[in-house]
Structures are given as C-alpha cells and as structure tokens.
Amino acid sequence: MKFSELVKQRFSARKYLDKPVEREKINQCLESARLAPSACNSQPWRFIIVDEPGLVSSVSAQTYNQLISFNKFVGNAPVIVVILMEKPKLIAQIGGKIKNKEYPLIDMGIAAEHFCLQATELGLGTCMLGWFNEKSIKDILKIPANKTVGLLISLGYPDYAKLPDKKRKKFDEIVNYNLYGASEI
C-alpha cells in the first residue's frame, strides 16, 4: 500500500470482530514502533501487550465507567497495548527542561502512530486511548508505581463495512507558508 493510501485507511476502529490477533502480526507492529525516531534516540517507551482474555477484560474496564462510557467499546477488543513512558536519556531530560518541551510525549506519540499504521497495513484496526484509570491499570498489570502509563491502544480485526468519514480541519486552516496567518498556499 502506498503511504498516502495507508494514512487514509487508518482510522480509530471501535468495533472488532470476535477473532484473536496473531502474535506474529502484533510483533510486526511492535517492530515498526521500535524503529520510531525519538529525541536523542532515547526510545523512552515500553510496550505491554495484553492479550490474555481475563486481563483484557480487567484492563478495558478501567477505560470507562457508568458516567463516562465512550470507551465501552474497548471491552470488545481482543488486545490492548499499554505504552509506558520510560525515563529518557539524561541529555534529553536536560534538553527538555531547557527548551520546555515534553520530548517523551512527542516520542511516544510517534511510536504509537508507527504501531497503528503498521497495524492498518496488516488489516488490523486500532484506537488510541488517552482516557483510562492509570492507577488501576498499573495494579492489574503489576507495573511499578514509579512508571507512567502514557497511552493505550486497542487492537483487533475491525468490523466495518466501509471506512468512516475523516473529519478534519481544512488545509488552509492549518497551513501557512512562511508567515503565521499568511493566506497564500
């Protein structure tokens, strides 16, 4: 698939077939995430793949509650990827402080998107999840208290007849050449 096609095909999948995902495919997605760039090549991430059904159900229950239920669909995903933010190299920590930038967050986002794009190429569906109960997930997965869970990704075979529409800002709303606010594109 051409890259331009791949980015159009990736969407947040919130319906999954009742079908397990082969570990070989999951590992291919992880390999693409592993090759992501990061500030000072710190690679400040660790991926925990939750594919044991009992654990998937316990973790998914920590992404919604009765009041805030938009993540209820996660309960039907066969796999949940938990991305931990590890301490970056000292040089990246110092650089981030001086320049007031959260490099590990940027790094993790890039790696997560590598994962999702690779999954799309393999016919899998993903949804990044920023809304979850971090403390409970750490307890369930025995993640040390001093670690940070940055993001979850639900993963599975998507159950969609057609691609959902992409809702995006218009090109000229987000792009300026040369000067902020310039109208020429």
Ligand X SMILES: Cc1cc2nc3c(=O)[nH]c(=O)nc-3n(C[C@H](O)[C@H](O)[C@H](O)COP(=O)(O)O)c2cc1C
Residues near ligand X (CB under 6 A): 11-12, 70-71, 127-131, 166
The Cα-based distances of 40 to 48, 73, 107 in angstroms read 23, 37, 10
Listing from the earlier edge strand, what are the strands of the sheet with 79-85? 45-50, 79-85, 148-156, 125-129
Q: Smallest gap, in angstroms, from Cβ of residue 99 to ligand X?
A: 22
Quickly tell me which residue has 């218009």 as its tokens.
170
| Beta carbon of residue 154, minimum distance to ligand X (angstroms, whole number) | 8
Q: How far is the CB of 54 from ligand X (least distance, A)?
A: 22
Closest CB to ligand X among residues 130, 181: 130
Using Cβ positions, the residue closest to ligand X within the complex turns out to be: 130
Residue closer to ligand X (CB basis): 61 or 128: 128
Shortest approach of ligand X to residue 98 CB, angstroms? 25
* CB-count burial class (<10 Å; 0-12, 13-18, 19+) for 35: exposed
Nearer to ligand X, 82 or 129 (CB): 129
Closer to ligand X by Cβ: residue 89 or 160: 160
Residue 75, amino acid: G
